[in-house]
Copies of this chain bind each other. A is one copy, B any other.
Amino acid sequence: MGTGRGAGRGVVMVDVARTVGVSQKTVSRVINGAPHVRPEIRARVLAAIEELGYRPNVAARALVMQRTHVIGVLAVATSLFGPASRVFSLEHAARQRGYELALASLPEVSPDELRRAIHGLLARGVEGIVFEVPNHLIEVDDALLGGVPVATSVGQIPHVARQAVIDSSQAEGGRLATQHLLDLGHQTVWHLAGPPEWDAARERCEGWASTLAKAGRQRPPVLYGDWSARSGYQLGRQLAERDDATAVFAANDHQAMGLMCALAEAGRSIPGDVSVVGFDDVPEAEFQMVPLTTIRTDEAIISHAVLSTLVALIEGREPALEQVEVHRELVVRRSSGPPRPTPSGPP
């Protein structure tokens, strides 16, 4: 049963036309700002629209225009700060450009789930898809996508013709963090990486590795987490046992928090015994019990760039930019400091 009608309880364009005494086409012109309508008629039409509470029917418009103005977003791990905030800034960017988002957040990260989700998005008539998933998962091709363009900031997707890849140069952040710790006088820097399937994790790791290499420092083994505070804690327990680790760069703030928790538990002081640098500058990083030194990124810029290029592809233009200048900034707080002067002997 149910009324089920989304808006305007059956008031349609022709009703507006009739109350004003013009043709339906004229009302259409007014709504779409088309020319050839006298100002006086325009005003009367607008008044009638207001009075009747008329709202255009999106479905009818989409049908005839062959456009839905819907962009799909495929996201995983939306419980994490980064992915979640990216979805919201994508939504914001989309709305600014006259599009809306269709969200598909994957509960599990499997190629099969991904295919299903893509099917779902296409069924909803999306005109483009943004991938916010680790790109090892993305086993897609043009056949599956039905020619719909895609965009991502997580790295190139194979076998897809119409795609825009935004290189957000995450490595730069890794360099900043690592160099900061070296500048403080640490011999070398350990790294709690994110999952290597994530492009962002690989790039941050690469920035770390290259900085160490350039400084001619020895590179400790990479410890891989999964972005969670828990994984940071678990890896941190290993690190806490060895006293040659005086500086650690964690791939995100939550892993850094877990690390600090493990260090505190082991009785190691921050930054006295171990300096910690995170990545993201989540709002609460500043207010940890030891305020966290971290890398701040303007994620909104990346989202806007991703959306711009995708919209360009959708509208048949060549995407303007593929490299976006992202402002990355080191925010120094209390979790990083110079190493303790080494006495000649270990404890």
Which residues of A does B touch, CB under 8 Å? 1-9, 53, 55-60, 62-63, 65-68, 70, 78-79, 81, 84-85, 88, 91-92, 95, 100-105, 107, 120, 122-127, 143, 146-148, 228-230, 232-233, 254, 257-258, 260-261, 264, 283-284, 286-291, 314-317
Please tell me which one of the listed residues B4, B78, B101, B315 contacts residue A88 in the complex, with CB atoms under 8 A apart. Answer: B78
Q: What is the distance, in angstroms, from A291's C-beta to the closest C-beta of chain B?
A: 7
Residues on B with beta carbons closer than 8 Å to the beta carbon of A261 = 287-289, 291
Q: What is the distance, in angstroms, from A334's C-beta to the closest C-beta of chain B?
A: 9
* A148 & B7 in contact (Cβ 8 Å cutoff): yes
Q: What is the distance, in angstroms, from A235's C-beta to the closest C-beta of chain B?
A: 12
* B59 & A63 in contact (Cβ 8 Å cutoff): yes
Residues on B with beta carbons closer than 8 Å to the beta carbon of A67 = 4-6
* A123 & B4 in contact (Cβ 8 Å cutoff): no
* B283 & A229 in contact (Cβ 8 Å cutoff): yes
Bound Cα distance from A68 to B60, whole angstroms: 11
Bound Cα distance from A315 to B5, whole angstroms: 10
Please tell me which one of the listed residues B4, B81, B287, B316 contacts residue A2 in the complex, with CB atoms under 8 A apart. Answer: B316
| A80 nearest in chain B by CB position | B283
Identical copies in the complex: 2
Identify 21 residue pairs between A and B in the complex whose beta-carbon atoms are under 8 Å apart, listed by A's number.
A3-B316, A6-B70, A6-B122, A6-B126, A6-B127, A7-B123, A9-B147, A53-B146, A55-B146, A57-B63, A58-B59, A58-B68, A91-B103, A91-B105, A92-B107, A103-B103, A229-B287, A230-B286, A261-B289, A261-B291, A264-B290
Bound Cα distance from A32 to B147, whole angstroms: 25
Bound Cα distance from A92 to B127, whole angstroms: 22
Q: What is the distance, in angstroms, from A130's C-beta to the closest C-beta of chain B?
A: 14
Known contacts A88-B78, A289-B261, A290-B289; A123/B56 CB under 8 A: yes
Q: What is the distance, in angstroms, from A296's C-beta to the closest C-beta of chain B?
A: 14
Besides A53-B146, A230-B286, 11 new A-B residue pairs in contact (Cβ under 8 A), listed by A number: A2-B315, A4-B127, A6-B70, A6-B148, A53-B143, A63-B63, A79-B88, A91-B105, A258-B287, A261-B289, A261-B291
